Structure 1
Amino acid sequence: MTSSRGGRGGPAGPLRVAPPTHPFLVMNPRSGAGKVRRFGLAEKAASLGASVLFLDEDERELAARLHAAVDDGADLLGVAGGDGTLAPVAEVAAERGVLFLVIPAGTRNHFALDLGLDRSRPDRALDALSDGVVSVVDLGVVGARPFVNNVSLGAYAEIVGRPDYRDSKLMVALDVLPDVLSGRVEQCFTVRAGPMTVTDPTVALVSNNPYGARGAGGVARRRRLDLGVLGLMCVDVGRPGEALAAGERQHPPAIVATAEEVVIDAPSPVVRAAVDGESTWLDTPAVCRIRPRSLRVLIPRHRPRAAGHRAAAAPRPVGRATAR
């Protein structure tokens, strides 16, 4: 097998590999309004020789189950579920040096989108078990917690943190956002990347590789997942009165940059965040880093589209960014 270097050395093309002999898949039957059952994912996986573990409400023993599976001979770990389910399995796959499989059985499936998978047919991801190629990608880490997509702070983290968010996302967003913008919800955090510090942005997003421009359907994509850097985007919407005084504008002030390390700090010992869309609290200061090319992802050789290799957007200044 011929290897191809990616990351800063240039694009890495997917590599043909022999099919895994002992795949072990984790499936969340609650994700995506029951996609695991609707698409017959467990049955198809079993027909391809995979062992399947269904997630229950208590996932505290998941890492131990995954390590035990590898000890028993598993040469691939996979997930059928949403973005929030991927990272714990990806971390073990990276640590143990086995292949990782993504089956987009959640609601948004952003990581699957950036891998070029068909999100409308999660069962097609299982074709990789018999005819797959490997894409070597980066993995993000905040503190000791891995992430495949991003760490979000500010308005989005406040919205996701509401206990009723999963049941009524739009109504919760409409309820929380005015309080965030008006200052009734205090955020009080800073984001540091190299010599740059951004204080109290409305939204801050630290991503596993930088996002590019929004594509079809208004969804931003990462054109590369192997650049070996974090993406950073901070947006300052400003107070409603300030926006009116400034007149209409198409985009709020923002900064878009890349960094090998991003530090999130706050006066309090913890700060609310959303990691891969899941609400959590981070101990401060929280350090985000990248693990370059640490994850080998098995994807179907035939898939609808693959991520391109266009460059990320150039940095733009933000109103409350200060250099140290």
Structure 2
Amino acid sequence: MTKQDYTTFTISDFLEDPDFLRHVKYQLPEDRLFWKNWQEAKPENLAAYLAAELQLQLMLSPKPLKTPPGLEENLLATIHQSIAKGHKRLRIRRQQYYWAGGIAASLFMVLFISWFFNATVRIHTTYGERKKITLPDGSEVILNANSTLSYPRAYAWKQNRAVKLEGEAYFKVKHLNRDIAQVKRGELFTAQTGTIEVQVLGTTFNIRERRGMAHVALIEGSVRVRSVKTGQRYQMKPGNVVQINSRNGLLTVEKQGSLQQSAWTDGRLIVNQTTVNEILRDFEDVYGYRVILDDPALGDKKIDGSISIKSEEGLLFTLSHILNVNIQKQGKVIYLKNR
């Protein structure tokens, strides 16, 4: 572990230090030995260490923190019993004031910890918008348009790294594990939608769930995919694409196609015998329009190649030339009409 001069650390410093967090969460033998020796040296800020340790243990408690019934009344009763008989009324009032202030501060701390540990960070993209997100563990996520990523506010203190996704996102997960054969709690990363659950140690992959179908495309590394509805599992290899039907949970595997699934991160749409209808459905999901073809038969036309999707205008311009149609916009509806 990285040895730092912890003698000057405050409570906040301890709660932001990865070595301290790992020690309290996992109690590894080498960590226990280091912190035992550090405490025996009796540093001046030992109280800050103990306070941070207690606060983190409260946050890691598996049960939601609740304010015990009658806490304030019991504390006030204890205060009154501890005040010696015969003290002056003014002194009694002062003591009650100070103790009541301490009670209020304690209650606030308990409620704040409870809120913090159970709160969720929610990041949403609108139509046509993309966001690059760095999670507290250093993992990176590119969130596609019309999508939502959520994770616990106390992500860094949770026993497991877990996020939830609605829409589409590209993940580059940071390795935390030292020994692949013995994966410890907190090293595994889980990404879940309403249909699929993806578990990884550290890898790069793309998830999309729209219109009743979920897709996982593995770029590098290794992931295990599970159908939430059926429990069916599959261990993916780089290049694999897993497709799961949201209605029945049926899982199917394509051996190749992962780069095609993740090309959107570079502003491209790679199509291989892809129908116009499929391309237009993706366009509607990303930009929020409804597209109507003047000739429905054009929707079955298949296209190969690479199409720029950096802007809605660029994609529509390309399609207008491929299909030989004119484009008309009326609010959020686009008409592709034969020339």
TM-score by length of 1: 0.25
Structure number with bigger Rg: 2
Tell which has more relative contact order, 1 or 2 (C-alpha 8 A, sep 6+): 1
Q: Which has the higher helix share?
A: 2
TM-score by length of 2: 0.24
